[in-house]
Chains A and B, each alone.
Chain A
Amino acid sequence: MLSGSKEAIGRFVKWGTLLLLVCLALAYPWLFPNPYLRFVGVMTVMYMGLATSWNLMAGNTGYVSLGHSAFFGVGAYFTGIMIVRFDMPPFAMVAAAGVFVGLFAIVIGWLALRTRDASFVIVTLALVYIMLLLAQGWRGLTGGSSGLSLPRMEGIGREDAHVPFYFAFLILLAVVLFTTWWIGRSKFGMGLVAIRGDEDKAAALGVNTDLYKLIAFVLSAGFTGIGGGIYVYWFSYIEPFFVFSITIGVNMILMALLGGTRSLFGPALGALLLVPGTQYLIGEYGSTQLHVVLTGLLLGAIVMVLPMGIIPSLRSAAAHLWSASSGASSAATCTESDEVAEGVGR
């Protein structure tokens, strides 16, 4: 009876917090109407979505992609080219970018997912440079190194220019979070976690590992591509060196790792903590490379000291506290917390 009511309270707190956060997120552009703060808000929500998308693959399957900026860039270029060269409706093209990058990721995944561990990292790294060379070389389509300028969104004042993009990224974030949550509860998600544990054993037990990995890869890439599509319409400009740089991909990894790859909200939390700080550093010391050094040091520190990330670490610390205080039932609590640590979508 007692544990039942405790659970009810827990559930109430959980949903209450979630509701409060959603309300805050929706009200943000009017709570902070300053254009710069709105800009930082868009940037933050963008990276929250990107980091969660990256984690859809990495957190579930354990495959670390160093080259997700390639999908971001392809999505951005697809949208940009469709708007500039073919005069298509922008936000429809943003959605189409998701499909296009998804198809692109099927081809890339078919090739890249033949490899594991280290070789997979190498392939994803190379992918960024393939796309960079293509974007530079295919001048007729991409504008080459001088880039591509897009028309700005019409009928909106300078003050409110960031607002539609804020909500576009917020929708993306919600969709990615929902997908991750849903996968975490499905048989498909169990299969992915089995792949992370031991791919050969998972295959031997009848998990269609190739297909599962490919689906996770395509979803992860497709959402990242949509992020790129929104980004390009927001910035109204795209050039190869910015989108096809390792930096964007590394940022996603850093954020996901900081918050915790084994949790649903971890990557988003990581982005929420890091993006405002990074934007501040760029604003204050942008001409120096201080933010790059700090990014590197922070990534190193997380790997060495907090490899699980914030949320899973807090969770296991809480579980330990709980088991220490309630003595006899510790064994049961521990198993439960281990299980929670297993899946991403919880």
Chain B
Amino acid sequence: MSSHLLLQAVVLGVLTGGVYSLWSAGLTLIFGVMRVVNIAHAAFLVLSAYLSWFAYTELGIDPLLSLFATVPAFFVVGVLIQRLLLARLRDHVTMMSVLLTTALAITIEGSLGMLWTGSHRGIEISYSTSSFSLAGISFPSDQVIGFVLAALTFFALFMLLRHSRYGKALRATIQNPDAASLLGIKTTTIQGIGFGLGLATAAVGGLILGLIHPFFPATHWAWIARIMAIIVLGGLGSVTGAALAALLMGVIESVVLVTLSPVWAGMIFYLVLAGTLVFRPHGFFGGRLAERF
């Protein structure tokens, strides 16, 4: 095992990890703002991948341009799901919301299968299949594009949460919904927008998924299990924690892939998940949910 190969693995790991950051940031944001585990998050990623793929192969629209349609659409869908479905659950909200988002995931999966069959698809655009070298390290273009897109989206999300009035209200809602609503924050509106934002990031994340990986309707289950492991490691509800955990897991996965085997690279997510639960059940970044951010 040469150090060069290891360096190459780390670089690829960081590129992958950046994408995982975006995927898990959206998921953990939704958890934080509503205490809802969105099992359908990866299904929305796959849905967005399909939409971009369809727009490109059938309508000839550049995938990056299709984002101007999918991002607002996903935001609206997110707000609607929160207002029309999740907000109406009364008893056992955590469990019922898990089942409801599972139902969403299955419905999306089945609809994609009905529309476009179960075949593997991939978005292959001229500028994404090449690669370039820098100091002997190879950078595949699709992964670089994915990383840059993810980083930009994550940065935008982070700035919105950190430096806008809305972000302040949202963080207040995450920390203590009752106190926030006493201070005049419309927490139900905020929660709706929070869910919308989470899905808007999934629209971008889904395009990246489609650029880098082959996909088919049922792929979302494997992805959701991975990003769930990441957000537990990062501490449920912590956007920064999720991003750091995602980068870390991206690098670990990539290094294990070249040193051991693909099976172990997949397994490492769950081993880390198990280890986290044994030693640090609340994740490694921040203690109680209220203190994260």
Question: What is the interface of chain A, defined by CB distance below 8 A to chain B?
Answer: 62, 64, 66, 111-112, 114-115, 117-119, 121-123, 125-130, 133-134, 136-137, 245-246, 250, 253, 257, 288-300, 303-304, 307
Contacts and interface: CB of A to CB of B under 8 A. Distances in A.
Given A112-B277, A126-B229, 14 more contacts: A111-B277, A114-B277, A117-B94, A118-B35, A119-B277, A125-B39, A125-B224, A125-B225, A126-B270, A128-B221, A130-B267, A288-B114, A293-B106, A299-B103
A307 B266 CA distance: 36
B199 to A, nearest CB: 17
A296 B278 contact: no
Contacts of B108: 296
Interface stretch (B65-73, B83-91, B139-147, B166-174): B83-91
B245 to A, nearest CB: 13
A174 to B, nearest CB: 28
Nearest to B40: A296
A115 B281 contact: yes
A293 B277 contact: no
Interface in B173-226: 217-218, 221-222, 224-226
A300 B270 contact: no
Contacts of A292: 106, 109-110, 113
A121 B108 CA distance: 20
B37 A296 contact: no
Contact of A299 (B106, B113, B270): B106
B110 A295 contact: yes
A128 B102 CA distance: 15
A299 B99 contact: yes
Contacts, number: 137
A311 B269 CA distance: 40
Contacts of B270: 126-127, 129-130, 133
A125 B228 contact: yes
A299 B95 CA distance: 13
Contacts of A122: 37, 228-229, 232, 273
A296 B113 contact: no
22 contacts: A111-B274, A119-B281, A121-B95, A122-B37, A123-B273, A125-B39, A126-B228, A128-B225, A129-B225, A129-B266, A136-B263, A137-B261, A137-B263, A257-B99, A288-B114, A289-B111, A291-B110, A296-B108, A299-B106, A304-B89, A304-B100, A307-B96
Given A133-B266, A299-B103, A290 B277 contact: no
Given A115-B277, A115-B281, A118-B94, A303 B103 contact: yes
A307 B221 CA distance: 24
Contact of B106 (A123, A136, A295): A295
Contacts of A62: 92, 95
Given A130-B270, A292-B109, A299-B99, A123 B277 contact: yes
Contacts of A297: 103, 107
A127 B271 CA distance: 10
B113 A289 contact: yes
B104 interface: yes
User: Interface centre among A122, A134, A288, by most B CB within 10 Å?
Assistant: A122
B242 to A, nearest CB: 13
Contacts of A119: 232, 236, 277, 281
A118 B110 contact: no
Contacts of B228: 122, 125-126
Given A64-B99, A118-B98, A303-B89, A289 B221 contact: no
A304 B277 contact: no
A111 B275 CA distance: 9
B105 interface: yes
Nearest to B113: A289
Contacts of A295: 106, 110
A290 B236 contact: no
A133 B260 CA distance: 14
Interface in B244-293: 261, 263-264, 266-267, 269-270, 273-274, 277-278, 281
Nearest to B36: A118
B31 interface: yes
Nearest to A297: B107
A91 to B, nearest CB: 33
Nearest to A112: B277
Q: Which 9 A-B pairs have the closest CB atoms?
A: A292-B110, A289-B113, A296-B107, A296-B106, A137-B263, A293-B110, A300-B103, A299-B103, A289-B110
Q: Which of A118, A298, A304, A307 has the most CB of B within 10 A?
A: A118
B267 A66 contact: no
Contacts of B224: 125
A121 B98 contact: yes
A110 B119 CA distance: 39
B95 A117 contact: yes
B264 to A, nearest CB: 8
B107 A245 contact: no
Contacts of B261: 137
